Structure 1
């Protein structure tokens, strides 16, 4: 068992590896393998799948042979059925590790080809699935296997994955913006200038070091972002962005829980925008432009709009995807036991999420939480 300080240092190291992959996609394979080994898992799989169908954007497998991976791919329909089918899988909260032995009844495990023909012969006794993103354009998932020789799967491993999952999600979101192009072997400035959204490189004090043409146009139009005395200012969420940039410089591991994949903002006419923050300080792969910067800010349009009130509610109170999923179910009238069954989580995990929601929103009871959401729903939907 790692000491608390050693664990914090390990998580910080692993978070750095994840963000390195944004600028150099070839690093995804060693990064996923390092994370798998550091946390004691038997195998790890990271996948990004475009919708409705198409070539896999990113596929990384660690800890298994090509033959085993091919067998696993063929068992895909059985695995989905094992976890309760597409509808139930869509109920699982993003970024939350869902443990197979908790979410799946024992009789279903005993009848599953995945378990009897693939997992058990290899000594795999449990698995964890993490949904990173589900939207009309893509699905991304992260999964791990646990070997019987590793002993009991404990909360330490789950907590580590909870810390890492938001960074995987953020890195993949930004990689999608960059179309997973390697910026190490190409002309970084040319790539930045060709991006169809605003890109701003800043130092720790939010001083602007570089802006691409789209970003310059946004500054000129005072669209979401402004320049005051050489510093970038984003109206409404400036303090939040500044905090994220400071985290980028000193403690990037804290960034994942402070904004999900991005921060909600609004354009001059109320158009929804998303501000993505990519930590750059200390990134090994960064070319010259990046080495001088603390963070890269990407400002994009919200492709699907901001779903109100729940997503706006999450943005207002800094709720994680797992926490907002719990809020949705509270508003729907489910009990904690029903939420646990619906989400495939331990009752204690649901309770923890709910207590964090109470703390962040300043309420003490589920009925007060429902009233708070209801009080915001009308104005937010106008």
Structure 2
């Protein structure tokens, strides 16, 4: 199979990955085969608090579960590839382990002899998916020493996949909260706090959820005219149509690159721009959404924040009623002092209660807690 055929096959598997662990595992197996690897995995390196760094292997294939446990509990801190990575590394970059540390040097490490060699993880090819002050996530393929070293052709292939990989991760996050694999997928989409608009292969709107209806009725930045979406100006509309055409072409297998799919749509009112993600839909979604849908448009209005229901917060995170009421106040934008006043409690009582909430939700700061709730299934309630 030629390079272009391998890339096309991987991109097709990637189209079907968002929304389910099974889809990602299928993609990782194909990725592992394409690179003649011994294993493949997604890893999130999280800076939990201070210097306490943790690693979470989100999805893995062909990996001994004991290796994952050992890596997360001990070897992560001694990973020579991670430790050799520049602090200025950028999202989208593809790295080869041999470029970070030479094979001769790594063979002299305990990591190689006590972990890498026993688990056939002595070579590494990785792509940086996300990077922020709180985390670095990557996708990696490993080989053993019996296999050829990763070379320029391997780097080029993974590099070509990176834009689509990063879009797929973003789409997965938006879809996973709605549990799209459930029988009532459209009902789940309807309840998403993100605006969702399903588009036909001709670029016509065929379905919208409630959040999208609110945006479209406002006619400020994105409007629906004669079945088509338009921006505030002709030039914005043109950019939107180019992006939508690329996503539709990719869903049909006519192109390997959807082009620009994340847009900022300015608004005539002067309010903050709408954020739009346009993504192709594959055949796997036929049982979940209308057959004629070829692309999805996700719309976020930064001026609108939906506050999840306190009962939903309590059920999802295992909080008491009093704790969930406090979280509800914080997510609504209240300060601790304002929350104390609304709940009729002393400030010290609220601070103590918040510490318990941090423990139950595995968060460490108020902003982190609010983000967790707003991006969880509680926002669907």
Deviation at 1:183, TM superposition (A): 1.2
> Aligned partners of 1:192, 1:138: CA distance in 2, in Å?
28
For the residue of structure 2 that corresponds to 1:46, the secondary structure is: strand
Q: Which has the higher contact order (CA 8 A, sep 6+)?
A: 1
Superposition pairs of residues 210-225 of structure 1, within 5 angstroms:
210-225=207-222
Decide whether aligned partners of structure 1 residues 25 and 58 sit closer, same or farther in structure 2, where only a CA change above 3 A counts. Answer: farther
Partner of 2:123: 126
Partner of 2:322: none
Over aligned residue pairs, what C-alpha RMSD do you find? 3.1
Is 1:13 aligned with 2:9?
yes
Superposition pairs of residues 80-229 of structure 1, within 5 angstroms:
82-84=81-83, 88-104=85-101, 109-135=106-132, 139-229=136-226
Q: Which has the larger radius of gyration?
A: 2
Decide whether aligned partners of structure 1 residues 20 and 212 sit closer, same or farther in structure 2, where only a CA change above 3 A counts. Answer: same
Decide whether aligned partners of structure 1 residues 209 and 52 sit closer, same or farther in structure 2, where only a CA change above 3 A counts. Answer: farther
Deviation at 1:123, TM superposition (A): 5.0
> Aligned partners of 2:92, 2:63: CA distance in 1, in Å?
24
Q: What TM-score do you get using the length of structure 1 for normalisation?
A: 0.67
Deviation at 1:152, TM superposition (A): 3.5
List per-residue Cα deviations over 1:323-369 (Å, max 9, x = no partner). xxxxxxxxxxxxxxxxxxxxxxxxxxxxxxxxxxxxxxxxxxxxxxx
For the residue of structure 1 that corresponds to 2:29, the secondary structure is: helix
Deviation at 1:230, TM superposition (A): 1.1
* Higher mean C-alpha displacement, 230-239 vs 153-162: 230-239
Matched pairs, number: 294
Partner of 2:239: 240
List per-residue Cα deviations over 1:165-200 (Å, max 9, x = no partner). 222211111222234443132312211111112111
Decide whether aligned partners of structure 1 residues 286 and 70 sit closer, same or farther in structure 2, where only a CA change above 3 A counts. Answer: same
Partner of 2:280: 279
> Aligned partners of 2:228, 2:258: CA distance in 1, in Å?
25
Partner of 1:22: 18
For the residue of structure 1 that corresponds to 2:246, the secondary structure is: helix
* Higher mean C-alpha displacement, 232-241 vs 215-224: 232-241
For the residue of structure 1 that corresponds to 2:17, the secondary structure is: helix
For the residue of structure 2 that corresponds to 1:83, the secondary structure is: helix
**Kept after mapping to 1: 8 A contact 2:47/2:54:** no
Q: What TM-score do you get using the length of structure 2 for normalisation?
A: 0.67
> Aligned partners of 1:152, 1:222: CA distance in 2, in Å?
55
Deviation at 1:293, TM superposition (A): 0.8
Decide whether aligned partners of structure 1 residues 187 and 291 sit closer, same or farther in structure 2, where only a CA change above 3 A counts. Answer: same
